[in-house]
């Protein structure tokens, strides 16, 4: 595995979602064994089902690769993931905190727009996910996490180097989540 692939896998959206759910729970005041219990539930209901489905789709050649590089294949996969996210919203509503529910609504906005964009154009899901998470971290923790912004050009390079995206698709994957972040902030979702 080369460096670009390693970076791409490390910042895979499913990895990012796992980190984001941990951060949402911790930031929402869940600590100790309650945090561990909640992370197990969230992992088993929010991360594992889409990951298993994606792995199955790759193995059965229903999609070209884990990154779903073909835009047309992405639309079908994202529609299925949208169903998971709607179910996941109810999981978060029942076991999460108020902050988690609000951030999850922002994620639903982010995902819905990503799906709508995918109908016409392809932007980087890796960049979208990483940019949104880094935006949240900057908002919550300020300049102390500013060095995390350096992840974005490295991740962008990896996506272009792997020929998964063009530079325009990577830039779109940065600009779009920043717009959603500011909208979510204005709506007091974060």
| Residues listed for the chain | 190
Q: How is the chain split into domains, by residue range?
A: 3-186
pLDDT per position as a tens digit, 17-27: 888 888 888 88
Q: What's the whole-number mean pLDDT along residues 113-129?
A: 93
Rounded CA-CA distance 22/41 in Å is 11
pLDDT at position 1 over 70 = no
Rounded CA-CA distance 139/168 in Å is 26
pTM above 0.95, yes or no: no
* Ranges of H-type helices in the chain: 3-10, 13-27, 32-42, 48-59, 71-95, 98-118, 125-141, 151-161, 167-186
If DSSP codes are grouped into helix, strand and coil, which group holds residue 140? Answer: helix
Higher pLDDT, 178 or 67: 178
DSSP string of 104-121, one letter each residue: HHHHHHHHHHHHHHHTT-
Report how far apart the first and last C-alpha atoms of the chain are (Å, whole number). 37
pLDDT per position as a tens digit, 33-78: 888 888 888 888 878 888 898 899 889 988 888 878 777 888 888 8
């Amino acid at each position: 595995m080369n460096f670009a692939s390693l970076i791409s896998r490390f910042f895979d959206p499913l990895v990012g979602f796992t980190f984001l759910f941990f951060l949402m729970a911790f930031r929402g005041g869940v600590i100790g064994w309650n945090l561990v219990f909640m992370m197990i539930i969230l992992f088993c209901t929010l991360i594992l089902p889409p990951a298993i489905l994606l792995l199955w789709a790759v193995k059965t050649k229903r999609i070209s690769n884990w990154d779903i590089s073909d835009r047309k294949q992405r639309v079908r996969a994202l529609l299925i993931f949208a169903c998971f996210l709607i179910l996941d919203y109810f999981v978060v509503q029942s076991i999460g905190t108020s902050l988690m529910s609000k951030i999850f609504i922002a994620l639903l906005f982010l995902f819905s727009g990503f799906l709508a964009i995918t109908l016409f154009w392809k932007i980087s899901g890796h960049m979208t996910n990483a940019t949104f998470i880094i935006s949240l971290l900057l908002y919550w923790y300020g300049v102390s996490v500013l060095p995390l912004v350096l992840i974005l050009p490295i991740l962008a390079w990896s996506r272009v180097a792997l020929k998964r995206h063009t530079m325009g698709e990577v830039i779109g994957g940065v600009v779009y989540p920043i717009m959603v972040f500011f909208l979510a902030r204005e709506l007091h979702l974060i």
